[in-house]
Structure 1
């Protein structure tokens, strides 16, 4: 007999509906005003819930930003991974993963930089922080797979190189010095650094 998933009960549906409203409210307000200028009270009001309820879903404003951005980051990674499969050159394939992540991060530069700080310095026991770190791990796995595919490194070396590529990408996006760079300039800067690791 095929296994069918049970429909969600009323309580689970209510929880999911509240989470959806919180995510939509935070997404809208962060995009419009930036994470630094939005309060948790504004998000709760927009989601039509109490602040106590809001904190059941995310304990801090940083966690709310992770909740919003994790979905965007995961989608950017999937787009990049799909594109990378069609590219033979290792550096170009790696950059096809990097570019959509940079574009996602630069949609709202201050929010993107805040998101990266939360990933690095946030509480790893919080579920949205844990999810962000999981996406970083998936990014590194995708890059390592390209390096292995093109035989640029052994299995261990590919994973280490992928971690270095990831560090270059995140530091470049978070650096105050680069805050004024447009997407093309930032991508080119990252490519220049990564090209030293992935010879053609």
Structure 2
């Protein structure tokens, strides 16, 4: 007996194809113009659907940005976790994770800052926001696991420390004063904050 999942029906395939077109259209337009300069009508036109159909998938531009960015962030986090595995030093390992998240956020600075704002202030019950918060939780869990490598840090404290590292990272990415900062400069700043948190 085979337990392989049944292929998607026509209706499900059509829904997935529309979603894929929406994500591709929104990603291209946001990358070229920035989220604030793009209208939902432009996204619908580029995806070859009506605006009513677009709103079935995402009710606001903020949700569309989350839809696009969540995928990018999840992949960036995966790359960071993989890179951290090759770093024996705890600070270097955490920096490897941070560097990938920072690089993802800074592909388009305004989009990255808007994404963080949507994540923080959006409705946590909305599926796109919930997915974004799940990525934050995964980030903190990965950092907590890396902190557990240091025997001087009580295991009970690693989740709290990871939350602080995450908060520092998102603050550095969000503040207006850092708009012109390069990914390397931001990563270095965050690294120094993390260094101050670690036992000496």
TM-score range, shorter chain: over 0.9
Whole-Å Cα distance in 1 between the matches of residues 155 and 10 of structure 2? 48
Deviation at 1:153, TM superposition (A): 2.2
Superposed, 1:147-162 pairs within 5 Å as: 147-162=147-162
Whole-Å Cα distance in 1 between the matches of residues 152 and 197 of structure 2? 10
Q: Which secondary structure does the structure 2 equivalent of 1:168 belong to?
A: helix
Whole-Å Cα distance in 2 between the matches of residues 13 and 189 of structure 1? 45
Structure 1: give runs of 5+ residues left out of the alignment: none
Match of 1:175 in 2: 175
Deviation at 1:152, TM superposition (A): 4.2
Whole-Å Cα distance in 1 between the matches of residues 7 and 150 of structure 2? 45
Q: Which secondary structure does the structure 1 equivalent of 2:197 belong to?
A: coil
- The question of whether the paired residues in 1 share the 8 Å contact of 2:153 and 2:199 is answered with no
Whole-Å Cα distance in 1 between the matches of residues 96 and 28 of structure 2? 28
Residues 152 and 54 of structure 1, relative CA distance in 2, 3 Å threshold = farther
Q: Which secondary structure does the structure 2 equivalent of 1:49 belong to?
A: coil
- The question of whether the paired residues in 2 share the 8 Å contact of 1:152 and 1:198 is answered with no
Whole-Å Cα distance in 2 between the matches of residues 137 and 7 of structure 1? 32
Deviation at 1:149, TM superposition (A): 2.3
Q: Which secondary structure does the structure 1 equivalent of 2:153 belong to?
A: coil
Stretch deviating more after TM superposition (14-23 or 150-159): 150-159
Paired residues in the alignment total 200
Whole-Å Cα distance in 2 between the matches of residues 110 and 123 of structure 1? 21
Match of 2:130 in 1: 130
Stretch deviating more after TM superposition (178-187 or 11-20): 178-187
RMSD of aligned residue pairs (Cα, Å): 0.9
Match of 1:121 in 2: 121
Match of 1:3 in 2: 3
Match of 2:190 in 1: 190
Match of 2:142 in 1: 142
Deviation at 1:60, TM superposition (A): 0.6
- The question of whether the paired residues in 1 share the 8 Å contact of 2:23 and 2:68 is answered with yes
Structure 2: give runs of 5+ residues left out of the alignment: none
Q: Which secondary structure does the structure 2 equivalent of 1:180 belong to?
A: coil
Whole-Å Cα distance in 2 between the matches of residues 28 and 122 of structure 1? 23
- 2:83 corresponds to 1:67: no
Deviation at 1:126, TM superposition (A): 1.1
- The question of whether the paired residues in 2 share the 8 Å contact of 1:35 and 1:65 is answered with yes
- The question of whether the paired residues in 1 share the 8 Å contact of 2:143 and 2:162 is answered with yes
Residues 181 and 149 of structure 1, relative CA distance in 2, 3 Å threshold = same
Residues 153 and 40 of structure 1, relative CA distance in 2, 3 Å threshold = same
**Cα distance per residue 1:75-99 (max 9 Å; x no partner):** 0000010111111111110000000
